[in-house]
Amino acid sequence: MSDQPPTTDKASPSATLGRVAFELERQLALTLAPGLYLVATPIGHLADMTLRAIATLARADIVYCEDTRHSRTLLAHYAIRAPLRPYHEHNAEEQRPRVLDDLAAGKRVALISDAGTPLVSDPGFKLVRDATAEGHAVIAIPGPSAALAALSVAGLPTDAFFFAGFLPAKEGARRTRIAELALIPATLVIFEAPTRIAASLADLAAGLGNRDAALARELTKLHEDVRRAPLASLAESCVTDPPKGEMVIVVAPPGESEVSDASIEESLATALASLSIRDAARVVADSLKVPRGRVYDLALALKRRDQD
């Protein structure tokens, strides 16, 4: 065996390191113009900071964030010493004029959230609206966002999607909202908390039909996991195996997620244990909103397979 390192056409790690250091150094040396910088930060993995995000925060005069203690950890990881000030849903009204004063004084102001892209189910919209109205530059430094990360791994159509944020916590309001979402001809992307996930998935299955869906959990983190199944099965799995951590629900558009034979057979197996073929087919067809004839044929085939 040769004691030479194996030859490879991949760039060597040190060459990559050199290029990355060169690019970061170049970014750090550029003058940062005054304005409001909306900087995306990791949704879990600290290495998901872009070079522009690092260079922008390093050169900012002030960084506004939701939780100064939380964001200090991120900034310390990259040895960034910009002063941190809180801007969150409870102090935004009183802080906004201060941020606008900073901008009027020609400062380079960054806005970050606890995770991901600021303004996406996070504070900042009114600040951006007022800053642009006063003629200040507003610049996006794009990067991670849980909504897009979940959409990309879901395995569902991506040509048109609707980001619905969080569903209402109260059952009545949630069902009303789901009835509105049922009409939208696009993949749905929904944030949800672990405490409500089983109830929300069950309500989604009832209100949208048993569409294909995905539950993307703890993306970019140690326990990252994606469950892909029709809504009713996902709801059931959240009862038997309650998921922890941060999660996003992605639901296929109406009509495009043909209920698969496998999910019909899954429901039939339970129904046939106590009902005749005809009744089981009727119950399953009604609950999955698929034609009875199709379910009846699958039930017959299932029975035949069982008898073989």
Burial annotation 226-237 (CB, 10 A radius, 16+ → b, else e): bbbbbbbbbbbb
116 binds ligand SAM (CB under 6 A): yes
The residue type found at 28 is: L
Name the region of 63 (left: φ>0; alpha: ψ -120 to 50; beta: rest). Answer: beta
Q: Which is nearer to ligand SAM, 250 or 299 (CB)?
A: 250
- Considering the complex, what minimum distance in angstroms separates the CB of residue 49 from ligand SAM? 14
Phi, psi (degrees; rounded to nearest 5) at 33? -70, 155
Q: Which residue is nearest to ligand SAM (CB)?
A: 116
128 binds ligand SAM (CB under 6 A): no
Contact 112, 36 (CB under 8 A): no
Stretch that binds ligand SAM, among 49-57, 88-96, 118-126, 128-136 (CB under 6 A): 118-126
121 binds ligand SAM (CB under 6 A): yes
- Considering the complex, what minimum distance in angstroms separates the CB of residue 144 from ligand SAM? 7
Residues in 221-240 that interact with ligand SAM by CB under 6 A: 221
DSSP character for 35? E
DSSP character for 253? P
Name, in order, each residue with C-beta under 8 angstroms of 89's C-beta and a sequence gap of 6 or more: 123
- Considering the complex, what minimum distance in angstroms separates the CB of residue 224 from ligand SAM? 7
- With CB under 6 A as the contact rule, the residue among 50, 95, 220, 237 that binds ligand SAM is 220
- Tokens matching residue 209: 């039909």
Q: Residues 186-205 vs ligand SAM: string with x where CB under 6 A?
A: -----xxx------------
Pairing mode of beta strands 161-166, 187-192: parallel
Q: Which is nearer to ligand SAM, 75 or 247 (CB)?
A: 247
- With CB under 6 A as the contact rule, the residue among 146, 197, 213, 284 that binds ligand SAM is 146
Say if residue 108 is exposed, middle or buried (CB neighbours under 10 Å; 0-12, 13-18, 19+).
buried
Q: CA-CA distance, 288 to 303, in Å (whole number)? A: 20
- With CB under 6 A as the contact rule, the residue among 61, 122, 130, 265 that binds ligand SAM is 122
Question: For every residue of 174-237, which 3-state class applies, written as one string?
Answer: HHHHHHHHCCCCCEEEEEECCCCHHHHHHHHHHHHCCCEEEEEECCCCCCCEEEEEEHHHHHHH
Residues in 8-37 that interact with ligand SAM by CB under 6 A: none
> Which of 296, 241, 246, 244 has its CA nearest to residue 272?
296
212 binds ligand SAM (CB under 6 A): no
Q: Which is nearer to ligand SAM, 113 or 257 (CB)?
A: 113
Q: Which is nearer to ligand SAM, 40 or 298 (CB)?
A: 40
- Considering the complex, what minimum distance in angstroms separates the CB of residue 195 from ligand SAM? 11
Q: Which is nearer to ligand SAM, 102 or 192 (CB)?
A: 192
Residues in 33-52 that interact with ligand SAM by CB under 6 A: 43-44
Q: Note the residues at the interface with ligand SAM (CB under 6 A).
A: 43-44, 113, 115-117, 120-122, 145-147, 191-193, 216-221, 246-248
